[in-house]
Structures are given as C-alpha cells and as structure tokens.
Structure 1
C-alpha cells in the first residue's frame, strides 16, 4: 500500500550558490557520508542537489509535518549505485506514525535541474 508520494526539483546552480554563500548549510542538510562520493572525492553540486530534492520529497511523502530534521533522512547508494534512504529520529518517528515500512527513491539530474521522486510504502 502506498502511504505517500513526494516529488521535488532543485535548480543545481541555485543550490550551489546557496552553499557558496552559506557553507554551513551542508552540515544542516547532510550527514557526513552524504558529502563523500565513492572513492573518497567530495560530491559535486548536481549530486548534492538531487539528494536535497530527495529529502524534500520524503517530507512531502510524509505530509510535510513541521519539525523534521534534514539530517534524519540520509540518501545513500547501494553497491549497484541504486539510491536508498536511511531514516532516523524525527523522520523515522513520523514514518512509523503513518505505518511506513519501506521506501522507493529515484534521483536524476539533467539540463541544470536535479529531481527526486519518493514513494513511502506501508
């Protein structure tokens, strides 16, 4: 059963400009592992914008309640490269309230725009 669906887009250059203006934004939005790509290099703006879009999509799938913390939702990749979600704290609590037992996430970026779709399943 689908509990909720969320979709979001982020303009990559606008996201990158926000991070350049306010570097501490990265620590408010992401857990340290999200900032590092496989091989140890720092993730680029397109990848980070897509991850941010996924976090926004998660919030929408959960009904966008106040009080969710960005860092309570982590976007990571399986060894195959498939994106996955790891939730804890405020996000996990809201998901439990709604009966969410699984997540599906898809990320994309092209033509200067990053996008994400999230399905919360119960």
Structure 2
C-alpha cells in the first residue's frame, strides 16, 4: 500500500484507460509549476527591430545583460506567470531575476504578480535558469508555506484580532 496522497480526478468521457490518476492537490504545498523556453537569437532580433521592447520587458538592472541572460529572464518571467496561474494584470516589470552573493538566481516580485503570489499563500519561489546553444530555459516552482506554518500564522492573526476587539470593547 502506498503512503502517497492521491487526488480523486473527475472521470473523463472515456475512463477506459485504467491505471491510477495523479491529479494535483489543491491544498498541497506546491501552488504551481511554470516552465518556459526562449529562442535567444529570435529575442535578440526582436529587440533589434523593436528597441522599445527592451524597456517593456526588462528592469533597468536587466537591460545591460547578455542576450542569453536576457532570454533566460524572459523565460523566468513567463514561468512565474504560469506557476501563479497567469495573473490577468501581469507586468514584465513586476518580476525581476536577481542573484545572491553566491550567484544563485532568485525572484523579486512586486505589483499584481506579488498580489497573486500572496493570494495563493506562496512563501517560496524556486528558480532554475539555463541556456544551451540558442535556447534559454526557466523553471519556477511556487511553494506555499507549510500547513502548520499557515495554521500558526492564522491562529496568531485570530489572537491579535481578538485582543484588538477586547481593547476596543
């Protein structure tokens, strides 16, 4: 007997395939996964033809990067949108790829994208960037806070709210 949690998928019109369905858990720690690939030469040519795209797609800190690094950033921004369920008012400027002192990439969100992450209780975004040949790739995993951590935070908010009501009463 497996100890892995399973989800109960909605049967399709033809459920004769058999096997075992593995649907995503709505209450799990993974809020979403996004992946995107960008053709480096194609993006560079597009920016050469339409220079205004440089300011639209990239923050000032990102504009001076190499073509491969810029393509990886576009892939990362797209992957964030996919991991968060494509927020309707997504802006390219809302997502920035930065690096730690050890050169490990991480994401900084603001605006509508940050609000979408907060609404889904995303606590961590895991980012992997790569470029090989003429292709840049990014993978983003959006992770919610652990259930116990979320429950503790909700309990602290409830206690604080209760204390506020007692002081006001």
Taking the TM superposition and a 5 Å limit, the aligned residue runs for 1:39-54 are 42-54=64-76
Does residue 1:24 correspond to 2:46, yes or no?
Answer: no
Q: Which runs of 5+ in 2 are unaligned?
A: 1-28, 145-169
Structure with bigger strand share is: 1
Correspondence 1:66 to 2:96 = no
1:106 to 113, 125, 128: 128
The equivalent of 1:87 in structure 2 is 109
2:114 and 2:87 map into 1 onto residues whose CA distance is 13
Q: Could you tell me the TM-score, scaled by structure 1's length? A: 0.92
Between the two proteins, the alignment pairs up a number of residues equal to 116
Q: Which structure 1 residue ranges, 5 or more long, are not aligned?
A: 36-41
- CA radius of gyration, larger in: 2
Q: 8 Å contact 2:87–2:112 — kept in the other structure?
A: no
Structure 1 segments (4+ residues) deviating >2 Å: none
RMSD between superposed Cα atoms in Å:
0.8
